Structure 1
């Protein structure tokens, strides 16, 4: 059985079982119309799936709960339900709550898959407003339908890889919505290591220019492939998020910061500036009041990370926060990009959940409006 189908089977099976056991939480999959994605020019579906974990006893109580919003990574069909199943987050939540490791909370995984892979949690005139989708639409939907404590101090935002990038970015853009942020292995925070202007995958991307239709590119580039194709795919999605160019009828309706004439590399300085303006590491100075208002902020990364840009840029991000006197936690641990995230010895169970249990507020306060 393919991994995707296996994960889905496990998820649905465990979801049915947990719903029958009063000591287990309940898993719900819903769809809702996201206003921030309506009318986008890339044909992205504004009807979004959302996976929700409700703690044990939720249906019998009248209690209101804090919420952790977890943003998934991108480009490898690792959306909300699959991440929930793959890392068995429902089991980790059940165990943490029943053992008194944490107080009962709601966990929400919104689906952020895009047609060509990912929207990088960034507002784009082409693919839609993916930052607003999380900061406005998802939070408003959950607060309306579930017994949440509708206050920034009771909302946590986390994510892994692309989702870690998104957690830091949206935490800066929406500090009035999310009071606590935790980013796991945040990818592409800024230029570093293999994520650089002279990287081979920019030349690889350029080879597709004017040679293939979008459908052909999807059949080739956007299927799972080797590491080079993975990065080429990431660059295509970053371009559609950071530097869309519909009017110019350019490749993928977006501009790349680098193009080639034979072996000669040419840098488009304007497009490069647009990319750099969207890198979370370059957003720090312009969002200092929001960052300093957070109740807590943490990022972590593995020492044996396969994508070398992650530990390098994460450390630089932490240093920049420190220089700007932003209180935060930053930690390197023994692990790679994925292998120490899930499980009872992984970062979600041992670090993230206790972190949110410490810094989220459990007492009810007056709801505050979402922008």
Structure 2
């Protein structure tokens, strides 16, 4: 294991971002990370206030689309989640600070890296053909999850003062990243104790081709959760959506999925939450606005 970790460290290109004031934490960027079976990855890691002046160990929050989390200059649409500010805000409400590991999306490969492989494999031919149109290559989310839960987590736990247990490890993302977060907590209950599946893109096809509700797509998801999710066993999942732009298509999927969670013994308000934000659009400013609420619910003790 030590050799594996050392090899991984050797592959990481480190750029130290100038430290912020101690009361705001600090960011570190890793420009290129090689991961087996995946396009080159990139990381931005936020260390909370006090990390550098103590020997405290911290729980960890892994987040997809890391380029859209902290810094406008890295963002796709000049909008960010402001994840560090959201964490600082909930820390003021008594939530324990977490290290945030932002994993950048790999450009054109984002869809095929985030589309849960079991959903793709179970899709009927017409739906799979639409998935293939946007994927542009083999679906690799199984390799991505194996890397997230394996080599990446091992390196983070070896390189930073973390608490590596399941109850101290969360994962979060929006849209396709929301699907990936639900996939992670369902398929790897040994690793992830909390997941935020924000504005999850349940239609699972290109946004320009979403025309309405597809019962075949819903059947893929309900079957996936029925086979994979299991009882909560101490895990916690947040799900939500808005009602405008792309989020307007999500309610017919989300409501039955909520029912699937309940059928499997998940208690709403305790084990899972599912909320609707009237008027909220499918974009980073909307997710930033509700991220403190998400973190306060998801990361509470």
TM-score by length of 2: 0.72
Asked if the contact 1:158/1:182 (under 8 Å) is kept, the reply is yes
> What residue in structure 2 maps to residue 352 of structure 1?
294
How many angstroms apart in 2 are the aligned matches of 1:64 and 1:189?
Answer: 39
Is residue 63–residue 173 contact of structure 2 (8 Å, CA) maintained in 1? yes
Distance verdict in 2 for CA 1:306–1:288, change over 3 Å? closer
Report if aligned partners of 2:238, 2:294 keep a CA contact under 8 Å in 1.
Answer: no
Counterpart position of 1:318? 258
Q: Does 1:284 align with 2:225?
A: yes
Following TM superposition, by how much is the alpha carbon of 1:92 offset from its aligned partner in structure 2, in angstroms? Answer: 2.6
In the TM superposition, what is the alpha-carbon distance from 1:285 to its structure 2 partner? 1.3
1:222-233 → structure 2 map (5 Å cutoff): 228=208, 231=209
Distance 1:127 1:333, change over 3 A: closer
- Note closer, same or farther for the CA distance 1:305–1:294 as it changes in structure 2 (3 Å cut): farther
Task: Within 5 Å, give how 1:12-31 maps onto structure 2.
Answer: 16=18, 19-30=19-30, 31=32
**Cα distance change on mapping 1:54 and 1:138 into 2, 3 Å:** same
- 1:68-116 deviations in whole A, cap 9, x for unaligned? 11123xxxxxxx123322222223323433x345222111111232544
Question: Rg bigger for which structure?
Answer: 1
Long gaps (5+) in structure 2 = 1-16, 72-79, 121-136, 211-215
Which of structure 1's runs of 4+ aligned residues deviate more than 3 A? 114-117, 121-128
Q: Distance in 2 between matches of 1:20 and 1:332?
A: 35
Decide whether aligned partners of structure 1 residues 116 and 32 sit closer, same or farther in structure 2, where only a CA change above 3 A counts: closer
In the alignment, which residue of structure 1 is the partner of 2:138?
A: 126
Displacement of 1:57:
1.0
CA contact (8 A) 2:115 2:139 kept: no
Match of 1:336 among 278, 281, 287: 281
3-state SS of 1:187 partner: coil
CA 1:294 to 1:284, structure 2 compared with 1: closer, same or farther past 3 Å? Answer: farther
Normalised by the length of structure 1, the TM-score is: 0.59
User: Residue 93 of structure 1 aligns with which residue?
Assistant: 87
Counterpart for residue 4 of structure 2: none
State the number of aligned residues: 245
For 1:23, what is the secondary structure of its paired residue? helix
Counterparts of 1:310 and 1:150 in 2: how far apart (Å)? Answer: 34
Query: Is 1:70 equivalent to 2:63 in the alignment?
Result: yes
- Larger proportion of helix: 2
CA distance, structure 1, for counterparts of residue 252 and residue 115 of structure 2: 21
- Partner of residue 77, structure 2: none
Please provide the CA RMSD for this pair. Answer: 2.8
Distance, in Å, in 2 between the alignment partners of 1:121 and 1:294 is 26
Deviation at 1:169, TM superposition (A): 0.9
Find the counterpart in structure 2 of residue 82 from structure 1.
Answer: 68
Question: Where does the alignment leave 5 or more consecutive residues of structure 1 unmatched?
Answer: 1-14, 38-43, 73-79, 196-200, 202-226, 233-272, 360-371
Q: Which residues of 2 match residues 298-313 of structure 1 at below 5 A?
A: 298-313=238-253
